[in-house]
Structure 1
């Protein structure tokens, strides 16, 4: 993921930035409302942000112009809902671009959309579905984190294929090529991230039970 600085055509960079902007704006509103109601959740929100920052900084070589790494967005999406991860991810990606040369400013919108929009919504949806199917909490957390990671990279492969279609096979051939290369490193990384997220979530259930109980309180439908 983390498409490098200057790699996307200008019109693609602008388009993805415009697509991601509403999610960041609404996420800020959602997080601020939640923290006004329960300011004691700030520490737990910080844990979710740190988890995403650390995991998404552990990059491995993959595609030219991109990299492969865990995402860390599943935990925050499960705890606070997917909307909260857009502003958190914005800060994470901005710091990584400026301090670690990981990603870039011109590609910030594209990276935001795959990492902090698609990934978190997949994680929240999978976790709710697993809960509705009466799967154990550990199974739900694992599937949510693992599939959010994979779908982030499916989105990135689509972004790259859209920007650089194959001269013969077009978008479909380029997408198959990009996603196939990502799969070599990302499938084991996604499984590892799922297992690690289960461990962290269980630790939070043990040591932050009161905060988690607050998060289980009914949310407004818009926070879903």
Structure 2
């Protein structure tokens, strides 16, 4: 994730931006509906955005042209759904590119697709599935945040492999190389993000139980662990 400025070929950079645009429109509409229906949830939206910004700013060099770090998008995806996290991730990535030189403007579409679209979708789906089969809240939150993080990096590995196929083995061989290098740092980071997200959700359940119960995924089985 956070592929650096100018690293992708122009055609790939434009392609990922075009692929991300419909999701941005979808996310803006979803976010507008959520705020209009439950204006009291604005504080939790702010917490979700701050959580994503802080975690995804903690970068650890992994491979030329990219880096490993937590993503933080799983929390917001579980609270508000994956659509709401697309515009939030867009703002987070834009600020990081402009203020921290983390990522870039030409690679914004690619970074958004991996962290703001794929990651939240996987986190949301895993959380729903885990709760649906009866897994406790803490276990479901851990799996959702952890697997959403790993999905982001799998997507980034695909993006880089597609842009820079191996001269001999092609995209598949390149994917194995990028994925293998990322795995060294990303697996422990994903586990750490899962544990941290559990702590944050448990704190919310303790001090903001009413707000959590107003959210559909948490209201279904309550906010009990």
**What is the aligned partner in structure 2 of residue 38 from structure 1?**
38
Runs (4+) of structure 1 exceeding 4 A deviation are: none
Q: TM (normalized to structure 2)?
A: 0.96
Matched with 2:82 is 82
Q: Which residues in structure 2 correspond to 1:107-122 (within 5 Å)?
A: 107-122=107-122
Compute the displacement of 1:136 (Å).
Answer: 0.7
Structure 2 portions without partners, runs of 5+? 221-225
Q: CA offset at residue 62 of structure 1?
A: 0.7
1:124 matched to 2:117? The reply is no
Query: What are the Cα deviations for residues 105-145 of structure 1, in whole angstroms up to 9, with x where unaligned?
Result: 00000000000110000000000110111011100000000
> What is the DSSP-based 3-state SS (H/G/I as helix, E as strand, rest coil) of the residue aligned with 2:186?
helix
Deviation at 1:97, TM superposition (A): 0.0
Cα distance in 1, alignment partners of residues 179 and 167 from structure 2: 17
Query: Equivalent residues in 2 for 1:165-180 (5 A)?
Result: 165-180=165-180
SS in structure 2 at match of 1:62:
strand
Q: Are 1:24 and 2:24 counterparts?
A: yes
Q: Deviations over 1:123-173 (max 9, x none)?
A: 000001101110111000000000000010000000000000000000000
1:137 aligns with 2:134: no
- What are the within-5 Å matches in structure 2 for residues 32-71 of structure 1? 32-71=32-71
| Equivalent pairs, count | 219
Aligned residue number for residue 194 of structure 1? 194
